């Protein structure tokens, strides 16, 4: 049993603008490897018709050549470093480093990290499938969910008649100084205040896969905890608006909401939308009076 590490394959259409798109993952664990690439089958053969619908600017021939080259390298027992002397065996923990060195131009491999759970070699394909679903196939879904969350936020502000209020700011990055004196700038969907935040809010969709909901909820909880713990935000001034097109009965989601409620007031918009709108209006009005 050992921990899996992985590379993220990326395509950069414009090297000057440097806006990469995730196109695949390569996982490694104790000498075993597995991969998943966008619009490619288990052997690495690319379906050109599907690819054109995913990435309009990509050269099909170049894409096929890069995927084929990476798949062939993964089938070898040892490969060469590019740019420096050295041969690395597949069993070595430097194998992905050597593979990463093959990046060039519009096609790059970047270290993605290490999974925390120990796995066996025969589980490596499942790891690659999981990472692909989260990092590649899930990109468009997460983008759509992020857009939908902001649309929900905007609708609430419109209903509360505070969308144009100067005390209300959206998608604002808030500087938070940590204990080691470093500063992070997490972004919040909703910011109410004048100079300093009097209330911070996030919108959470429950429509995604339960594991994705848990990950997002944990991220929101972390943001609120840091804002409150460092004195950036007062206790009781964090709020989360959760929504779903239908009722979700899942243990992971329920646990995520329980944890979120330890740091934030949570409004379920399926049941508490009217209360949420009234609360937003009251928060803004209170902020105005305090500022005066």
Number of domains within the chain = 2
Other C-beta atoms lying within 10 Å of the C-beta of residue 250: 14
Residue 238's closest CA among 263, 262, 213? 263
Average pLDDT on 111-135 reads: 87
Whether 173 and 186 share a structural domain: yes
Instruction: Say yes or no: 20 and 147 in one domain.
Output: no
Q: Are 179 and 190 in contact (CB under 8 A)?
A: no
Q: What is the pLDDT of residue 292?
A: 45
What percentage of the chain reaches a pLDDT higher than 90? 57
Task: Indicate if 123 and 163 belong to the same structural domain.
Answer: no
In terms of domains, do 240 and 277 share one?
yes
The torsion angle over the Cα atoms of residues 56, 59, 64 and 67, rounded to 10 degrees, is: -80
Q: Which of 91, 116, 137 finishes a domain?
A: 137
User: Does 147 lie in the same domain as 129?
Assistant: no
Residues 68 and 195 grouped into a single domain: no
**Does residue 109 sit in the same domain as residue 232?**
no
pLDDT tens-digit readout, 135-184? 887 555 555 555 578 889 999 999 999 999 999 999 999 998 877 788 88
- Which pTM was predicted? 0.52
Can you give the residue range of the structural domain that contains 172?
A: 141-291
Count CB neighbours of 258 within 10 A.
11
Tell me, yes or no, whether 81 and 12 share the same domain: yes
**What is the residue-averaged pLDDT of the chain?**
88
| Residue 28 DSSP code | E
pLDDT in tens, 42-73: 899 998 888 877 787 789 999 999 999 999 99
Query: Which of these three, 137, 161, 188, is where a domain ends?
Result: 137
Torsions phi, psi of 131, nearest 5?
A: -65, -40
Residues 214 and 232 placed together within one structural domain of the fold: yes
Domain containing residue 216: CATH number: 3.40.50
- Among 45-54, 95-104, 270-279, the range scoring the smallest mean pLDDT is 45-54
> 154 and 74 share a domain?
no
- Which of 137, 167, 188 is the C-terminal boundary of a domain? 137
């Amino acid at each position: 049993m050992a921990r899996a590490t992985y590379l993220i394959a990326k395509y950069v259409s414009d090297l000057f603008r440097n806006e990469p798109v995730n196109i695949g993952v390569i996982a490694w664990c104790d000498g075993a490897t597995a991969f998943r690439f966008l619009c490619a089958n288990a052997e690495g053969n690319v379906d050109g018709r599907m690819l054109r619908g995913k990435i309009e600017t990509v050269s099909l021939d170049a894409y096929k050549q890069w995927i084929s080259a990476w798949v062939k390298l993964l089938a070898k027992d040892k490969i060469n470093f590019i740019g420096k002397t050295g041969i690395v065996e597949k069993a070595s923990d430097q194998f992905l480093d050597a593979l990463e060195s093959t990046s060039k131009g519009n096609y790059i491999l970047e270290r993605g990290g290490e999974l925390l759970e120990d796995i066996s070699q025969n589980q490596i394909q499942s790891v690659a499938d999981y990472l692909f679903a989260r990092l590649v196939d899930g990109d468009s879904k997460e983008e759509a969910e992020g857009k939908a969350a902001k649309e929900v936020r905007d609708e609430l502000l419109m209903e509360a008649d505070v969308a144009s209020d100067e005390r209300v700011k959206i998608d604002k990055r808030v500087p938070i100084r940590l204990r080691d004196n470093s500063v992070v700038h997490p972004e919040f969907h909703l910011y109410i205040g004048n100079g300093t935040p009097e209330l911070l809010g996030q919108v959470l969709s429950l429509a995604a896969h339960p594991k994705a909901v848990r990950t997002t909820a944990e991220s929101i909880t972390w943001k609120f905890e840091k804002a409150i713990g460092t004195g950036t935000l007062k206790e009781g001034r964090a709020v989360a608006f959760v929504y779903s097109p239908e009722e979700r009965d899942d243990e992971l989601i329920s646990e995520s909401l329980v944890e979120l409620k330890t740091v934030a007031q949570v409004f379920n918009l399926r049941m508490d939308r009217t209360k949420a709108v009234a609360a937003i209006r009251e928060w803004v009005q209170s902020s105005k009076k305090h500022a005066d």
